[in-house]
Amino acid sequence: MEILLIALLTLLASAVGTLSGFGTSTIMIPVLAVFLPPVEAIFLVAIIHWFGNIWKVALFRRGFHLGLAALFGFTGLAASYIGASVSLAAESTMLLRLLGMFLFGYALFLFIKARYKVPATGVTAAAGGALSGFFAGMFGIGGAVRGMFLTAFDLPKAVYIATAGAIGLMVDSTRIITYFAGGATLPDRLWWGLALFIPLSFLGAKLAKRVVVRIPQENFRKVVAVFLLLVGLKLVAFP
């Protein structure tokens, strides 16, 4: 039953994450952190997310923006390593509370500054890469922060998705290696479950591609913001 529920969550998160630009982790981590040890949840989703980024690049490859991917990616690599190292050393209850505060704060920001856009400069791209890389390594959730900076460049949606996927692929590679080298692992049932989760992450991305031009991105962002707010409160109060 656990494997089937995670499989359904993967399908939903992959589809919504691809469409909204938040990324699969933003939906999966808050749910799995309630039931699994935090590092275990982050490591599992990192693997699924790595494949999800491959699907984004493959499905939307004609829209890839190399310059932005490089600016975001290079700073994100180092920051992801630092964040992942901190995550491995942190006590689990403290890590969950920090994750809850981060989710709660980011959800509030989405409501209060729904139309906020950072300046579209090279410094913005480098800073966005560093911040999103650190949060990805620390909490497994970097797509939401990356999206805030990447949207400043007003990319067409297909270009945005492919570029976000390329950046995420670089960051995820770094943090997965760091987690594994630091001793992170999964129970056997979850290793076997990846044989189901990974194909479903592709199916979710494929479904998203079919409807990507039909659904306003803002609607997904509002729904996910409410979700993050509630889960953030739960993790802060009852980690």
pLDDT digits (tens, 9 = 90+) for 64-120: 677 777 778 788 888 888 988 888 887 767 777 877 787 787 777 767 766 666 677
- Please answer whether residues 157 and 213 qualify as being in contact, where contact means their C-beta atoms are separated by less than 8 angstroms: yes
Rounded CA-CA distance 76/7 in Å is 29
Share of the chain above pLDDT 90, in %: 6
Whether the predicted pLDDT of 216 surpasses 70: no
Is the predicted pLDDT of residue 141 greater than 70, yes or no?
Answer: yes
Lowest mean pLDDT among 134-138, 180-184, 216-220, 223-227: 216-220
Domains of the chain by residue range: 2-237
Spatial separation of the C-alpha atoms in residues 58 and 35, rounded to whole Å: 32
Residue 21 Rama label (left phi>0; alpha psi -120 to 50; beta): left
Q: What is the pLDDT of residue 54?
A: 86
User: What value does the mean pLDDT of the chain take?
Assistant: 79
How confident is the model over 180-195, as pLDDT tens digits? 888 888 999 999 999 9
Measuring CA to CA, which residue among 199, 229, 163, 159 is closest to residue 14?
199
How distant, in Å, are the alpha carbons of 156, 165, 228 from that of 17? 17, 11, 13
CB 205 within 8 A of CB 14: yes
